[in-house]
Structure 1
Amino acid sequence: MLLMTGYLTTPTTSTGVSLSEFWAWVRYLSAVTPDPDLRLTNSFSELDAHQKTILSDDFGIGAPLLWLSERFDLDRIVDGRYFVEYLAPRLGATQQRTAKRGPNKTPDFVARDITGLWHVIECKGTQSGSGYSARQLGEEGPPRTGGIAQKHSIIFPAGHTGQRLVSGLQIGVPNGQPSRLTIIDPVSEDPFQVNEADMAIADDAATRCVISKALRQSGYEVAAEAMASPRDDVFFAQRRASKAFSDDAAETDRRDERAREELGSRERTVQFAEDYVGRERQFMLPRPVIVDGNPAYRVILRQGLRKEAIEEMQSNPSIDGLVSESGSSWASELGSSVSKGSEGFASMTIGNLFRSEIILEE
C-alpha cells in the first residue's frame, strides 16, 4: 500500500525536490501494526488533528486505489485535476477553472482499465470511526452531501464509461474498530463532458500523467515536466499567461535539452531487477519496524524505468502531438499496476515500464 500511496501522491507537474516522493515510506513505515488487518500504531493514532488528517487522506487514497487497481485491472491512474486541466483547453471548453474544494472540485482520480473503460474515483479517509466515514461518503439527499455531492464529475461517451465511485476508508486504531473500506456509486451532476471524438486526447492525458509520475519517482524531474507539458498552442498560451517569455520556443527547446541530458546521464542512478534504471535511497530507521516477527532497521527504496524506454525517451522527451501517434514503443509497455509483497519485500510495477521496490533489512 505504501508503494501505491507514494506513487499516487507524487505530483504530475512540479519542479524542485518534492518530499511526496519519499513521504509514504519515511513517514508511514512505522505507522501500521503487525496485525493481519490494517491498523495504526498507538503513536500514530494519537497524532494531533492536522497530522491525522494528512495521514487519513494519504491512506484514503492508497488503500482504495490499490484494491480497485487489482479488481479493475487499471492501467492508467490519472490525477483528476491534471486530467481536466489538460483536456479542457484542448477541447475548447470555456470553463477551465478547477476548484480544490466544494461542489466544483474535480474527482481525485480518473482511471482507465485494460479494456478501455474509464472510471471516476473520489477518495475519503478517516480515523474517526465508521459513523464519520459514512458522513464523508454522504447521502443522496436532497441535499446531497459528502463525496456524493461532488458535482464536477466527468462523463465519458458510451462504450468508454466504467464506474463512478466514491471510496471511504475507515482506518482501524488500537482497541477500536477494524479498518473498513466502503465503495459506492453515486449519481453525478454538472459533469465535465468528454465526447467520442475527444478520447484520443483523454488517452494522451492519461499516458502523460502516468509516465510523468514514473519519471519523477525514478529521479528524472526535468523529463517528467517535459512529458506532462507537451509543446503545443495550449502550452505556449498558458506560459504566456503565467509569465513573460521573450521566446517561448527557445525556452522549451532548452527544457527539452536539459531533459535529454538528464535521461542520458547515469550519475546517481542504479540498475536493478535486470534492466530497470532509476534511483536508490537507503534510510536508517530511528527504531526498528517489526515485520513477520523480525526487526528491520534499514529501508532500501528503488524506483526505475526500463533502460530501453529511457533511451528512447531521450531522443524525444516531450513528444509533440499525441503519444500514440509518435511511434514511441515504450507506450505499449504500459499496463496494469501490480503490487506484491512478502517477508520484508514489496514491489509495484506498471506494465513492463516502471518498477518500484521497498526492502526492509535488519
Structure 2
Amino acid sequence: MDYFTTLTAENHSIPLSDGNRIPIIGLGTYGDPRTTQKGTAKQSVKLAIDAGYRHFDGALVYFNEHEVGQAIREKIADGTVRREDIFYCGKLWNTFHPPELVRPALERTLKTLQLDYVDLYIIEFPAAFKPGDEFYPKDKHGKYIYHETDLCATWEALEACKDAGLTKSLGVSNFNRRQLELILNKTGLKHRPVSNQVECHPYFTQPRLLEFCRQNDIVIVGYSPLGTSRDASWVNLKCPPMLEDEVLISIGRKYNKNTAQVALRFNAQRGVVVIPKSFSPQRIRDNFQIFDFSLTDEEMKAIEGLNKNIRFVELLMWSDHPEYPFHDEY
C-alpha cells in the first residue's frame, strides 16, 4: 500500500484497469435541489478547481449538471486547467436502464455539461424504474413504479457508449458482489467495470466488498466518506455522527488535522477514492488537505476497528425491488 502514501496534491491519480486514471479525491456535487441556492454548485466547483481538485462526481438527477459543466468550462477558458486535467463522473439514472435509453441519457448529460465526453459513466443504482419523464415514478398510492432490470443488457449499451467515445471509462454504483459477478461473467464482455461507487467510511469500511473488488481490479469509490448529512428522509440516524468519534479526534490532534481529514486520509491510504460533498468554501479547501501527512499501520488498524457495519444510506424506500442491493451481506 506504500504507493498510496506517495500521492501528492499535484499528482494524486491512481490507475484504473482500462489504462485510464482517477484522482483519489473528488468533489461530490449533490445538493438538495429544493434547498440549494442556484449557482452554489458552480461556485463550489470553480473554488475546488482553484484548491487543487480535478475530480468531480455528478449526476443528471442532481439537477445541477449545467452549473458543474459551466464551472469546468470557465476554468478551462481562463487557462487554470485543460479538459484532460479534469475527471468527470456522470451517472445513468434508474429510469434509463432499457438499452435503447442508455445512449440518449448520456448524450443528455453531455449536452447539459456542454462537454464532448465524460471520463467515467456509471450505473447509479442496480434497480430499474419505469421509463418516462418522471425520475421518481409513483402510482396513485405513492408507491414507486419499478421496471424489469436486465443489468447485462444495460451494460452492453454502456459498452457501445464507450466505443463511441462518449465516455472514457465505465463503472457501477451500489452494486453488491452478485451484481458485479453478473457483469464480470457476462458472455462476450467487452469492457469490464473499472469502479464501484459505494458508501465507505470508518463506520462502514466494506472489508469484504473491498477485497472482492481488489481481486477483480475494480476501484472502490467511497461516497459519504465523512458519514452523511443528517437528513432523516433518506439517512439512517440511529448511528452517531462519525466525525465526533474519539479515535478520529485523537489521531487528528497528533497531526494537527480535523476528523474529516483523518477519515479521508484513511480511505485514500487504502486505495479507496473519496468524493466528499461540500458547498462550504472552507470545508472544500480543508477536505483537500490530506496529502501532507500519513497514518501509521497502527492508526490504520485503529480506524478499521471503528467499523460498526452500519449504513447511513440504506435507501429503504426501494428495498422491495428485486435488485435492491443491500439485502446481501456484501
- What band does the TM-score fall into relative to the shorter chain? under 0.3
Structure index of larger Rg: 1
TM-score by length of 1: 0.23
Structure ranking higher in strand proportion: 1
Tell which has more relative contact order, 1 or 2 (C-alpha 8 A, sep 6+). 2
